Structure 1
Amino acid sequence: MRYFNTAGPCVPTRHYMVPAQERLPRARRYIEQGQYFVVHAPRQTGKTTVLAAMALELTASGRYAALHFSCESAEVAGEDYGQAELLVLEAIRRSAESAGLPDELVPPAFWPDAVPGSRLTRGLTEWVRSCPRPLVLFFDEIDALRGGESLRSVLRQLRDGFTVSRGGFPHAVVLCGLRDVRDYKAASGGDPGRLGTSSPFNIKVASLRLGDFTEAEVAELYGQHTTQTGQDVTVDALERAFGFTQGQPWLVNALAREVVEELGVVSDTPITAGHMEEAKERLILARATHLDSLAARLGEDRVRRVIQPVIAGELLLPTDTYDDDLAYVRDLGLVAPDAPVRVANPIYQEVIVRVLGNDTEGQVVAAPSSFRLPDGRIDMGTSCCAPPPSSGGRTARSWPPPRPTRRRQHSW
Structure 2
Amino acid sequence: MNRFFNTAGHCKPEIHYKVDPLPRLPIVKHLIEGQHYFVIHAPRQTGKTTYLYALMNRLNSEGKYSALTVNVQAAASARDSEHAMMIVATAIFRQARLRLPESEWPLPVEKPKPDVFPFGQIGDYLAAWAEKNPKPIVLFIDEADFLTEDMLQTIIRQLRAGFEVRPEGFPHSVALVGLRDVRDYKVRTCSEWEQPDIGSLFNIKTKSLFMEGFLLSDMEALLDQHTAETGQEFDPAVRNEIFRLTQGQPWLVNALANQIVAEILENDFRQKITLAHVTQAKEELILRRDPHLDSLINKLREPAVKTVAEAIICGNALLPDSFGNDLAYLRDLGMITGKAPVKFANPVYSESIPRALNYAWQVSFNPDIADQTRYIRGGHLNMDALLSVFQKSCSRNMDIWLENFDFREAGRLLMLMAFIQRIVDSDGMIEREMAMGSGRCDMTVTFRSDRFLLELKLQRDRYGEEDGLKQIAAYIDRMGSDHGYLILFETNSEIPWEKRIYRKEVSQEGKRITLLGM
Asked if these proteins are the same fold (TM beyond 0.5), I'd say: yes
Alpha-carbon distance between aligned partners in 2 of 1:187 and 1:168, rounded to the nearest angstrom: 32
Residue 165 of structure 1 and its aligned partner are, at CA, apart by 4.9
1:182-193 to 2 correspondence within 5 Å?
Answer: 182-185=183-186, 191-193=192-194
Alpha-carbon distance between aligned partners in 1 of 2:489 and 2:55, rounded to the nearest angstrom: 57
Alpha-carbon distance between aligned partners in 1 of 2:103 and 2:356, rounded to the nearest angstrom: 54
Residue 211 (structure 2) aligns with: 210
- The CA deviation string for residues 357-378 of structure 1, in whole angstroms up to 9 with x for no partner, is 2233333736571339964334
- The alignment partner of 1:74 has SS state of helix
Q: Is the 8 A contact 1:112 1:123 kept in 2?
A: no
Structure number having the greater strand percentage: 2
Give the share of equivalent positions with the same residue, in percent.
40
Matched, 1:145 2:223: no
For the pair shown, the structure with the greater C-alpha radius of gyration is 2
1:272-291 to 2 correspondence within 5 Å?
Answer: 272-291=274-293
C-alpha spacing 1:409/1:153, structure 2 compared with 1 (3 Å): farther
Matched, 1:369 2:383: yes
Matched, 1:128 2:130: yes
Matched, 1:380 2:487: yes
- The alignment partner of 2:174 has SS state of strand
Alpha-carbon distance between aligned partners in 2 of 1:97 and 1:32, rounded to the nearest angstrom: 24
- The CA deviation string for residues 269-295 of structure 1, in whole angstroms up to 9 with x for no partner, is 332322212211111122222111211
- The alignment partner of 2:145 has SS state of helix
Residue 403 (structure 1) aligns with: 502
Alpha-carbon distance between aligned partners in 2 of 1:340 and 1:408, rounded to the nearest angstrom: 28
- The alignment partner of 1:317 has SS state of coil
Matched, 1:173 2:174: yes
C-alpha spacing 1:211/1:133, structure 2 compared with 1 (3 Å): same
Alpha-carbon distance between aligned partners in 1 of 2:200 and 2:91, rounded to the nearest angstrom: 25
Residue 328 (structure 2) aligns with: 327
1:10-159 to 2 correspondence within 5 Å?
Answer: 10-77=11-78, 80-99=80-99, 101-110=100-109, 119-146=121-148, 148-159=149-160
Q: Is the 8 A contact 1:309 1:316 kept in 2?
A: yes
Q: Is the 8 A contact 1:75 1:145 kept in 2?
A: yes
Alpha-carbon distance between aligned partners in 2 of 1:223 and 1:185, rounded to the nearest angstrom: 44
Residue 386 (structure 1) aligns with: none
Q: Is the 8 A contact 2:182 2:198 kept in 1?
A: no
- The CA deviation string for residues 62-120 of structure 1, in whole angstroms up to 9 with x for no partner, is 11111101111111236x33332222111111211233x21111112357999999622
1:309-328 to 2 correspondence within 5 Å?
Answer: 309-320=311-322, 323-328=324-329
Alpha-carbon distance between aligned partners in 2 of 1:332 and 1:187, rounded to the nearest angstrom: 21
Q: Is the 8 A contact 2:10 2:50 kept in 1?
A: yes
- The alignment partner of 1:63 has SS state of coil
C-alpha spacing 1:190/1:26, structure 2 compared with 1 (3 Å): farther
Residue 202 of structure 1 and its aligned partner are, at CA, apart by 0.6
Alpha-carbon distance between aligned partners in 2 of 1:94 and 1:291, rounded to the nearest angstrom: 32
C-alpha spacing 1:238/1:404, structure 2 compared with 1 (3 Å): closer
- The alignment partner of 2:356 has SS state of helix
Matched, 1:255 2:333: no
C-alpha spacing 1:292/1:94, structure 2 compared with 1 (3 Å): same
Q: Is the 8 A contact 2:130 2:170 kept in 1?
A: yes
Say which structure, 1 or 2, has more relative contact order (CA 8 Å, 6+ apart). Answer: 1
Report the residue type matching 1:268 in the other structure.
R
Alpha-carbon distance between aligned partners in 2 of 1:270 and 1:63, rounded to the nearest angstrom: 48
C-alpha spacing 1:340/1:376, structure 2 compared with 1 (3 Å): closer
Report the residue type matching 1:91 in the other structure.
A
Alpha-carbon distance between aligned partners in 2 of 1:360 and 1:140, rounded to the nearest angstrom: 40
C-alpha spacing 1:190/1:81, structure 2 compared with 1 (3 Å): same
Residue 303 (structure 2) aligns with: 301
Unaligned segments of structure 2, at least 5 residues = 376-381, 388-444, 446-450, 457-485, 491-495, 507-512
C-alpha spacing 1:188/1:324, structure 2 compared with 1 (3 Å): farther
Alpha-carbon distance between aligned partners in 2 of 1:219 and 1:198, rounded to the nearest angstrom: 37
Report the residue type matching 1:173 in the other structure.
V
Residue 401 of structure 1 and its aligned partner are, at CA, apart by 6.1
Alpha-carbon distance between aligned partners in 2 of 1:229 and 1:190, rounded to the nearest angstrom: 56
1:235-250 to 2 correspondence within 5 Å?
Answer: 235-250=236-251
Please list every run of at least 4 consecutive aligned residues from structure 1 whose deviation after the TM superposition is greater than 4 angstroms: 110-118, 186-191, 194-198, 372-375, 397-401, 404-410
Alpha-carbon distance between aligned partners in 2 of 1:245 and 1:209, rounded to the nearest angstrom: 18
- The alignment partner of 1:295 has SS state of helix
Report the residue type matching 2:454 in the other structure.
G
Residue 205 of structure 1 and its aligned partner are, at CA, apart by 1.0
Q: Is the 8 A contact 1:40 1:177 kept in 2?
A: yes
C-alpha spacing 1:255/1:157, structure 2 compared with 1 (3 Å): same
Alpha-carbon distance between aligned partners in 2 of 1:316 and 1:31, rounded to the nearest angstrom: 40
Q: Is the 8 A contact 1:232 1:270 kept in 2?
A: yes
Unaligned segments of structure 1, at least 5 residues = 384-396
Alpha-carbon distance between aligned partners in 2 of 1:353 and 1:103, rounded to the nearest angstrom: 53
Report the residue type matching 1:369 in the other structure.
M
Residue 242 of structure 1 and its aligned partner are, at CA, apart by 0.3
C-alpha spacing 1:408/1:137, structure 2 compared with 1 (3 Å): farther
Structure 2 length normalisation: TM-score?
A: 0.69
C-alpha spacing 1:18/1:275, structure 2 compared with 1 (3 Å): same
How many residues align? The count is: 393
Residue 398 of structure 1 and its aligned partner are, at CA, apart by 9.0
